[in-house]
């Protein structure tokens, strides 16, 4: 692999950034010893994670390790009960906020399985969402013309057909269209913190490139992105600053992007041993 | 008891029909919940109220005037379709003093929808009787609307005869007062290769019963759609019959309802496929969105299929708001109450969008919006005045 030669200097760069980041900025997200249960079963068993503006984090892990639960808990799904720990978002207690308040304050979750909503047009839905967020920020609602021109610009970014706007939200969309629609929404809503939950699963390589391009366009110094994935493949296109390995509800290893490649080679088998050792 | 007078100047054939209807009602009386057709709808409050009968006021297109001017035409059709087996049809047939009469001559296309408006008078009974004849090759849209104030009883019967190859779209808007009793039968006869669509919308009334029955001939397409919004102590009962009497006819039926508070709702959809009605294609769907634990729904499809080469499907669902969809909307910044309304609205729009008259769609979207709004302001969650 020719890319391998470039890792050394990049890794060094990441290391130095990791050292200086906490001095210059306050984190967007701080998760401290987070425990959560579903139906009485503990799924998250002490997660710690700090994310600063401008960073892209990847959370990897085998099926059932708690990746999607973590995303859903951060977004505010009431199926899960937080039993211990805290989540601080921009210095505030995130867990005290309703899901819509989290979104209005800049949190965005791209769903692993985007929900179909028959009877609600994509356009109407997105306008309601954007205006709810603008209202919270004290900005005036966008009129129909301004909204449409914004939406057209973002659709071009995601290589989406305009006809999708008038269709019901995700209804009858292909798997790829649903995932693109998620990133399209993210592009329109411009969150401060985006969680992408297995946005790559089920995508062919062309769709994956479009989605990754959309996400990369949204990378900026005041926005953070957390990419949750089972596979390393996506990380070739969305290159993370940090990679964390989740196993049995805990982060068992953290490192730079080379960790993802190591995982790709060794699989998650070795990680489960690590997890046992951590107990 | 409600009077069963026969107007003396009635022509003989019709007088006969009215006399028999009166006798039929006298013999049977109001139906009780011991009868299968009325099992879940107790009409005792209607019988007990004894509102005196008056003639309904019709703006133009009066059946009474038509009877004077074209007695032959009226007599050929009136009372020949709606069956007096239904006691309320018998009561109407015996007592009706007026209603709307619409005759669309052959091959005439009526560009604008025709409106029939009935405004009830408090503490009175009316028996509007409507006759709609769409001759061969004609095309028309008709809106039948019922409104009023205070307590009253409206007992309407509409007979619709759709000629060969004619296209008729019929909207019934039941927007009666919250204290009203409303019983209505729409009886449709479809001649070969005709296309009929019914949109049966129930928004108001305290006690509401609709019977929408269509008989389909060869090559017909028949659509029965319905929407009911029930809240408070409202009881809304919709009975439908699609009678496939001949081969190669298709029917589509979609009834959707939203139940809130202590409302109760009945849906009973019968599909008959007669022995000769091969190649019938019939689809029936009833979907209910239940917003309150105190609501009651009885839904029952009844299929009687005597032919062997047919396709008939039916399905009924009773559900609550989709929690996944609600969460998804909220993660995009839409607050919980708005997200709920959006989902309720979307559920109902499915029926509204099928109506081919833009003014009616706009009217219903507004009515739906207002209904959602008033529900929110009544709910203790949203009300500030709650002590």
pLDDT band at B288 (very low <50, low <70, confident <90, very high): very high
- Looking at residue B98, its pLDDT comes to 94
List, edge to edge, every strand of the sheet that includes A193-197. A107-110, A193-197, A224-229, A56-60, A242-247, A250-255
- Average pLDDT (A27-51) is 96
DSSP string covering A254-275: EESHHHHHHHHHH-SHHHHHHH
Q: Is A226 on the interface with B (CB under 8 A)?
A: no
A118 in contact with chain B, both atoms CB, cutoff 8 A: yes
Chain B residues lying within 8 Å of A98, measured CB to CB = 330, 335-336
Residue A85: phi and psi, rounded to 5, are: 90, 180
Residue A3 has pLDDT above 80, yes or no: no
| Residue boundaries of the structural domains of chain B | 12-320, 322-380
C-alpha gyration radius of chain B: 21
Using CB atoms and an 8 Å cut-off, which of residues 314-373 of chain B contact chain A?
322, 324-325, 327-336, 338-339, 342-343, 345-347, 349-350
Tokens, residue B297: 């729904």
Burial of A10-32, coded b for 16+ CB within 10 Å and e otherwise, reads eeeebeeeeeebeeeeebbbbbe
Q: All domains of chain A, ordered by start, with CATH?
A: 2-278 (3.40.50.300)
DSSP annotation string for B82-131 = S-TTSHHHHHHHHH----BEEEE-TT-B--SPEEEEEEE-TT-EE--EEE
Q: Which residue of B has its CA nearest to A109?
A: B331
CA distances from A250 to A47, A187, B38, B57 (A): 5, 31, 61, 76
Which residue has better confidence, B70 or B226? Answer: B226
CA distances from B310 to A239, B191, B243, B283, B314 (A): 58, 20, 14, 11, 13
CA distance B181 to B171: 20
Partners of B145 in the beta sheet? B117, B173
The pLDDT tens digits of the residues spanning B193-240 come to 999 999 999 999 999 999 999 999 999 999 999 999 999 999 999 999
pLDDT of the residue at A265 = 81
CA distance B92 to B114: 23
- Whether A261 and chain B come into contact, CB under 8 Å, resolves to no
pLDDT of residue B8: 43
Say what angle helices A175-189 and A205-217 make with each other, to 10 degrees: 10
Decide: pTM greater than 0.80: yes
Structure-block tokens of residue B180: 């009203």
Given an 8 Å threshold on Cβ–Cβ distance, is B334 in contact with A129? yes
- Tell me, what's the pLDDT at A277? 56
For B:277-296, CB contacts with A below 8 A are none
* Chain A residues closer than 8 Å to B256 by CB: none
C-alpha span between B161 and B138 (Å, rounded): 11
Alpha helices in A25-121 (DSSP H): 67-75, 99-104
The pLDDT tens digits for A110-129 are 999 999 999 999 999 999 99
Report whether A120 contacts A137 (CB < 8 A): no
Q: How far apart are CA B214 and CA B222, in angstroms?
A: 8
Q: How far apart are CA A85 and CA A35, in angstroms?
A: 6
Residues 176 through 195 of chain A touching chain B, CB cutoff 8 Å: 185, 189
Contact present, B135 and B103 (Cβ < 8 Å): yes
For residues A77-98, average pLDDT:
96
d(CA A29, CA A89): 5
Is residue A98 less than 8 Å (CB to CB) from chain B? yes
CA distance B84 to B96: 13
Task: Give the C-alpha separation, B120 to B58, whole Å.
Answer: 11
From chain B, the residues in CB contact with A133 under 8 A are: 333
- Distance between CA B186 and CA B57 in Å, rounded? 19
Taking CA atoms, what residue in A is nearest to B324? Answer: A115
Residue in B330, B331, B346 closest to A119 by CB: B346
Chain segment B146-172, per-residue pLDDT in tens: 999 999 999 999 999 999 999 999 999
Q: Where are the beta strands (DSSP E) in chain B?
A: 101-104, 114-120, 125-126, 129-134, 139-148, 153-162, 167-174, 181-190, 195-202, 207-216, 221-230, 235-244, 250-259, 264-273, 281-290, 296-305, 311-319
Tell me, what's the pLDDT at A8? 37
Element (H, E) at A93: strand A92-93
- Give yes or no for residue A278 having a pLDDT over 60: no
Q: How far apart are CA B102 and CA B135, in angstroms?
A: 11
SS3 B236: strand
What residue of B is the nearest CA neighbor of A170?
B325
Nearest CA among B355, B343, B225, B254 for reference residue B290: B343
pLDDT tier for residue A6 given thresholds of 50, 70 and 90: very low
CB spacing of B333 vs A129 below 8 angstroms:
yes
**Residue A85 contacts residue A107 (beta carbons within 8 Å):** no
Chain-chain contact of A77 with B336 (C-beta, under 8 angstroms): no
Across the interface, do A119 and B349 touch by the CB < 8 Å criterion? yes
**A125 min Cα distance to partner chain B (Å):** 8
Neighbours of A43 (CB within 10 A): 20
Q: Residue B383: which pLDDT band, with cuts at 50, 70 and 90?
A: very low
C-alpha to C-alpha distance for A158 and A216, rounded to whole angstroms: 11
């Amino acid at each position: 692999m020719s890319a391998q030669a470039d890792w050394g200097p990049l890794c060094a760069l990441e290391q130095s950034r990791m050292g200086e980041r906490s001095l210059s900025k306050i984190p967007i997200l701080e998760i401290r010893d987070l425990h959560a249960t579903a139906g009485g079963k503990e799924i998250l068993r002490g997660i710690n994670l700090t994310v600063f503006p401008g960073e892209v984090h990847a959370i990897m892990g085998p099926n059932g390790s708690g990746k999607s639960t973590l995303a859903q808990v951060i977004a505010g799904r009431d199926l899960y009960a937080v039993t211990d720990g805290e989540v601080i978002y921009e210095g505030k207690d995130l867990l005290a906020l309703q899901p819509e308040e989290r979104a209005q304050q800049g949190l965005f979750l791209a769903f692993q399985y985007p929900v179909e909503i028959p009877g609600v047009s994509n356009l109407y839905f997105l306008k309601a969402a954007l205006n709810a967020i603008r209202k919270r920020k004290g900005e005036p609602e966008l009129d129909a013309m301004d909204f449409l021109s914004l939406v057209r610009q973002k659709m071009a970014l995601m290589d989406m057909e305009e006809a999708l706007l008038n269709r019901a939200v995700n209804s009858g969309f292909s798997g790829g269209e649903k995932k693109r629609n998620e990133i399209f929404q993210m592009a329109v809503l411009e969150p401060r913190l985006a969680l992408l939950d297995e946005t790559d699963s089920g995508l062919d390589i062309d769709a994956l490139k479009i989605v990754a391009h959309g996400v990369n366009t949204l990378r900026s110094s005041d926005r953070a992105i957390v990419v949750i994935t089972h596979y390393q493949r996506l990380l070739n296109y969305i290159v993370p600053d940090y990679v964390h390995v989740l196993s049995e509800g805990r982060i068992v290893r953290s490192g730079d992007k080379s960790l993802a490649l190591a995982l790709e080679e060794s699989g998650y088998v070795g990680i489960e041993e690590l997890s046992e050792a951590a107990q | 008891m409600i009077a069963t007078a026969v107007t003396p100047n009635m022509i003989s054939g019709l007088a006969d029909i009215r006399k028999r209807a009166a006798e039929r009602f006298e013999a049977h009386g109001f139906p009780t919940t011991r009868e299968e057709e009325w099992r879940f709808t107790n009409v005792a409050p209607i019988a007990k109220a004894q509102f005196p009968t008056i003639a309904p006021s019709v703006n133009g297109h009066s059946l009474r005037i038509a009877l004077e001017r074209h007695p032959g035409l009226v007599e050929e059709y009136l009372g020949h379709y709606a069956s007096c087996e239904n006691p309320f049809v018998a009561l109407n047939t015996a007592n009706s003093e007026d209603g709307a009469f619409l005759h669309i001559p052959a091959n005439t296309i009526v560009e604008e929808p025709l409106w029939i408006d009935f405004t009830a008078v408090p503490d009175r009974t009316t028996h509007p009787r409507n006759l709609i004849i769409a001759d061969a090759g004609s095309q028309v849209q008709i809106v039948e609307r019922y409104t009023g104030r205070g307590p009253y009883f409206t007992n309407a019967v509409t007979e619709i005869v759709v000629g060969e190859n004619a296209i008729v779209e019929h909207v019934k808007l039941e927007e009666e007062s919250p204290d009203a009793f409303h019983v209505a039968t729409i009886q449709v006869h479809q001649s070969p290769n005709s296309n009929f669509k019914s949109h049966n919308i129930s928004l108001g009334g305290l006690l509401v019963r609709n019977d929408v029955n269509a008989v389909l001939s060869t090559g017909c397409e028949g659509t029965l759609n319905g929407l009911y919004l029930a809240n408070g102590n409202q009881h809304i009962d919709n009975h439908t019959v699609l009678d496939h009497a001949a081969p190669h006819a298709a029917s589509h039926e979609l009834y959707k309802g939203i139940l809130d508070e202590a409302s109760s709702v009945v849906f009973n959809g019968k599909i008959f496929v007669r022995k000769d009605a091969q190649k019938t294609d019939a689809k029936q769907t009833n979907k209910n969105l239940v917003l309150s634990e105190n609501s009651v729904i009885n839904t029952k499809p009844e299929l009687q299929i005597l032919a062997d080469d047919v396709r008939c499907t039916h399905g009924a669902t009773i559900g609550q708001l989709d929690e996944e969809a609600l969460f998804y909307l909220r993660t995009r910044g839409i607050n919980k109450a708005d997200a709920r309304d959006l989902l309720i609205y979307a559920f109902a729009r499915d029926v509204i969008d099928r109506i081919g008259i833009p003014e009616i769609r706009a009217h219903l979207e507004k009515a739906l919006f207002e209904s959602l709004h008033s529900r929110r302001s009544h709910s203790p969650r949203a009300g500030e005045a709650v002590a």
